[in-house]
Amino acid sequence: MVCSCISGMGKYLPDYILTNDGLAEIVETSDDWIRERTGIRERRISHGEATWQMALKAARDCVADWQGNPQDIDFVIVTTLTPDYYTPNTASAIAAELGCDHAFGFDLSAACTGFVYALDVADSYIKAGKANHVLIVSVENMTRILDFTDRTTCVLFGDGAGAAILSACEDGNNRGVISSYLALDGGRRSVLTVPATVCHEKMPWEETVADTNGHHAVMMDGTEVFRFSIGAITEAVDKALERAGLTIDDIAWFIPHQANIRIIQHFAHRYHLDMEKIFTNIDKYGNTSSASIPICLKEMKEQGKIQKGQLGLIVGFGGGLSYGAAVIEF
Ligand code: COA
């Protein structure tokens, strides 16, 4: 049976660092408050870089790690909630600039769960025999959609991109993506929103740019999102493990979406996990939405943490309210 294995990983983080003390000069907050409530110390800010440009840098890093030919990539998925254009999609820019001349592709919108959703789509295409090498790029220019007068949201997010290539491989060498579970709680979607430019409160001819500007920022009921995240993680982790026929003790590494260290600590407590088994980098980058999990995967590889044959569990949750998890053999 054909499996889909992660054959390359990449990341890109902008150089510009905004520390908590730096944020405290912009909005009424403090390093102590942010660290205690979120675990974040600093975040990266894209300085004039478009979303597709950050995505391309992560994609190039990923292709270098893969050591393959971009001509052999047959499917490009970009996950982002901060595209530069409604159309063309970001995937078309990545495919063209990388030289994926035979690829089709699209952007996938599932907020912070984007990478988990994309992994499942890529895995399904490979197992159906419709693709051999799928490039996933998860990229977020979050600081472009933050209201820097709203201290309850602007301290949480940062910019960055992560990428992975999934390749068809024969069972026996590596099981790759072993199981996945995706879910959506649309009934609660209003607790985390970023309105688009198309605003339906007025007739289109009554609307001006001034009317809609300022409404494109992240708006969030933090307490409700926190509560949702706790339940979503448990459901997704339990279902992904059940589908894999595994238990929590079989997993060497847990890679949760980096939203808040307290959510991650709650997860560790719930499953009696040593924090050493959970990879975190939220202190350096904040919440980079869908980019957070692939950035973690790349950093784990760079730090020599991943051993071939080990099992990892990724779990994501966010706007939608979307959530999901997957079990992977490295
Ligand atoms: N700096 C200083 N004080 C702040 C602050 C900031 N950046 N943001 C909020 N506060 C204040 C509040 O105004 C409030 O003050 P009050 O008691 O005088 O009214 C106090 O801190 C407590 O606010 P509260 O909202 O109860 O804090 P919290 O412990 O719930 O933490 C979040 C807030 C946003 C960090 C937390 O709810 C959270 O992480 N939610 C999940 C968010 C998330 O992960 N979203 C993305 C999901 S993908």
Least confident of 99-108, 142-151, 154-163: 142-151
Q: Is 272 a catalytic residue?
A: no
Measure CA 102 to chain center: 26
Which residue type does 32 have? D
- pTM exceeds 0.85 for this model: yes
Domains identified in the chain and CATH numbers:
2-170 (3.40.47.10), 177-329 (3.40.47.10)
Among 41, 152, 224, 317, the mutation site with the greatest number of ligand 1 atoms within 8 A of its Cβ is 152
Mean pLDDT, the chain, integer? 94
CA of 242 from ligand 1 middle (Å) equals 34
Q: At what angle do helices 90-98 and 51-66 cross, to 10 degrees?
A: 50
CA of 194 from ligand 1 middle (Å) equals 18
- Non-local (6+) Cβ contacts of 137 within 8 A are 55, 58, 59, 62, 76, 77, 78, 79, 90, 91, 94, 161, 162, 163
Q: Please tell me the number of Cα atoms within 13 Å of 94 on its side-chain side.
A: 39
* pLDDT digits 0-9 by tens, 239-249: 999 999 999 99
* Res. 217 pLDDT band, cuts 50 70 90: confident
Out of 3, 100, 112, 296, pick the active-site residue. Answer: 112
Pocket of ligand 1 (CB under 6 A): 29, 33-34, 37-38, 112, 151-152, 155, 220, 222-223, 225-226, 259-260, 287, 317-318
pLDDT at 222: 93
CA of 81 from ligand 1 middle (Å) equals 22
Stretch 77-101: mean pLDDT, rounded?
Answer: 97
pLDDT at 203: 61
Residue 90, pLDDT > 70, answer: yes
- Please give the Cα distance from 262 to 137 (Å, whole number): 27
Which residue type does 132 have? N
Q: Is residue 207 packed enough to be buried (19+ CB in 10 Å), middle (13-18) or exposed (0-12)?
A: middle
CA of 153 from ligand 1 middle (Å) equals 8
Please count the residues of the chain: 330
**What is the DSSP-derived secondary structure letter of residue 92?**
H
Q: Which atom of ligand 1 is nearest to the CA of 38?
A: 35
Residue 154, pLDDT > 90, answer: yes
pLDDT at 207: 56
Q: Would you call 126 helix, strand, or coil by DSSP?
A: helix
Q: Is residue 25 packed enough to be buried (19+ CB in 10 Å), middle (13-18) or exposed (0-12)?
A: exposed
Q: Is 216 a catalytic residue?
A: no
Catalogue the E-assigned strands of the chain: 2-12, 17-19, 42-44, 75-79, 104-108, 133-140, 160-170, 177-184, 192-193, 219-220, 253-256, 311-318, 322-329
Distances (CA, A) of 313 to 118, 137, 238, 251, 252: 15, 19, 11, 7, 8
- Please give the Cα distance from 232 to 238 (Å, whole number): 10
pLDDT at 171: 67
Q: Is residue 308 packed enough to be buried (19+ CB in 10 Å), middle (13-18) or exposed (0-12)?
A: exposed
* pLDDT digits 0-9 by tens, 12-64: 999 999 999 999 999 999 999 999 999 999 999 998 899 999 999 999 999 99
Q: Is 296 a catalytic residue?
A: no
Q: What is the dihedral of CA 255, 258, 260, 266, to 10 degrees?
A: -10
